């Protein structure tokens, strides 16, 4: 029997991308949508809605549908729990979740993955379904990083690693060895917009290296979920900020809409480099 795949769908284009891929392969799948979110569903595919308070019922339902594999796709914000809605079976799951709710997003996600695994599901990363989403080592564009860009990338990687160790951000901008910006809660786009406004005045040598945007997962992050993502919007932001290119950690960052992203980079004369850490 072909195994079915449940796509636990959060925000953005990723759930739809995975659904389309599974559909093309003729593989059975279902989108699972948490109440309070509306999944992007360009294919009008079947959707199972669930609430966190009744997670055990979702497990039963997915099993009934023949789903044996689960992929988390796209971010969801942390739900509030309504104790009045918890069913008895799901209540048995809560002892594993409550401490994780206190301990931060990563811990909560690990705990949720653990619950799916304990329920017998095989939890895989999006790249198990669409490997081209997560590029390995190499420069993906005709434009290549210069020696200066490579040095800036190495410095940015050092910064993002140090930040990741204290659970802050997954991105940074470095130009001519100097850190121009660090990604924080408001995210990549907000950082790049700001940089576009101030970048003209903050490079030591205006004629020197333009700088790179670097993105990587957090150290120790479970690579099956919540990998950082770039896409055509990232390219547009990096171009407006006047940077030379984008560097992602090889094997650790997804490119959504890969063709459109690479085409946009080429049109802007930017490089995209998946760099071995």
Tokens of 222: 């479970």
Q: H or E segment at 214?
A: strand 212-215
Site membership for a second copy, residue 182 (CB under 8 A): yes
Q: Which of 240, 225, 243 is nearest to 70 (CA)?
A: 225
Residue 169 binding a second copy, by CB under 8 A: yes
Residues 6 or more apart from 148 whose CB is under 8 A from it?
176, 208, 209
Q: Which stretch binds a second copy (CB under 8 A): 42-50, 109-117, 132-140, 165-173?
A: 165-173
Our finding on whether 178 is near a second copy (CB under 8 A) is: yes
| Residue 50 vs 194, nearer CB to a second copy | 194
Gap between the Cα atoms of 79 and 71, Å rounded: 19
At closest approach, how far in Å is the CB of 180 from a second copy? Answer: 5
State yes or no: residue 103 binds a second copy (CB under 8 A): no
From 13-21, 83-91, 110-118, 174-182, give the range in contact with a second copy by CB under 8 A.
174-182
Using alpha carbons only, give the angle 115, 118, 121 rounded to the nearest 5 degrees.
90
Q: Provide the residue count of the chain.
A: 277
Q: Which of 162, 208, 219, 259 binds a second copy (CB under 8 A)?
A: 162
First to last CA, the chain: 39
Rank residues 47 and 168 by Cβ distance to a second copy and give the closer one. Answer: 168
Among 120, 186, 219, 269, binds a second copy (CB under 8 A): 186
120 C-beta neighbours (distance < 10 Å), count: 10
Describe the crossing of helices 232-240 and 258-268 by its angle, rounded to 10 degrees.
20
Using rule CB under 8 A, residue 202 touches a second copy: yes
If binding is defined by CB under 8 A, does position 207 make contact with a second copy? no
Is 159 one of the binding residues for a second copy (CB under 8 A)?
yes
Piece of 18-26, 49-57, 163-171, 215-223 that binds a second copy (CB under 8 A): 163-171
Kindly state whether residue 184 participates in binding a second copy, applying the rule CB under 8 A. Answer: yes
Cβ atoms < 10 Å from Cβ of 82: 10
CB of 159 to a second copy, least distance (A): 6
Count of helix runs (H) and strand runs (E) in the chain: 10, 13
Q: Which residues contact a second copy by CB under 8 A?
A: 158-159, 162-163, 165-166, 168-169, 178-182, 184-186, 190, 194, 198, 201-202
């Amino acid at each position: 029997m072909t195994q079915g795949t449940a796509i636990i769908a959060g925000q953005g284009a990723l759930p739809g991308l995975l659904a389309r891929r599974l559909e093309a392969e003729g593989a059975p799948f279902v989108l699972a949508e948490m109440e309070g979110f509306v999944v992007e569903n360009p294919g009008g595919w079947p959707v199972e809605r669930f609430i966190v308070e009744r997670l055990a019922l979702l497990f039963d339902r997915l099993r009934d549908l023949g789903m044996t594999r689960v992929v988390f796709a796209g971010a969801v914000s942390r739900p509030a729990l309504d104790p009045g809605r918890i069913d008895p079976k799901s209540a048995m799951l809560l002892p594993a979740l409550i401490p994780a709710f206190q301990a931060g997003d990563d811990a909560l996600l690990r705990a949720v993955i653990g619950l799916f695994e304990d329920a017998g599901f095989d939890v895989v990363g999006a790249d198990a379904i669409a490997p081209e989403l997560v590029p390995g080592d190499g420069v993906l564009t005709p434009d290549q990083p210069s020696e200066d860009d490579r040095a800036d990338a190495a410095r940015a990687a050092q910064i993002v690693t140090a930040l990741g160790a204290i659970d802050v951000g997954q991105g940074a901008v470095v130009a001519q060895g100097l850190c121009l910006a660090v990604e924080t809660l408001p995210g990549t786009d907000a950082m790049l917009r700001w940089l576009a406004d101030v970048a003209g005045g903050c490079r030591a040598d205006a004629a020197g290296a333009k700088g790179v945007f670097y993105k990587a997962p957090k150290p120790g992050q479970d690579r099956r979920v919540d990998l950082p993502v770039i896409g055509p919007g990232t390219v547009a932001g990096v171009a407006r900020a006047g940077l030379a290119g984008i560097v992602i950690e090889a094997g650790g960052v997804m490119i959504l809409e890969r063709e459109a992203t690479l085409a946009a980079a080429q049109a802007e004369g930017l490089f995209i480099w998946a760099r071995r850490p």
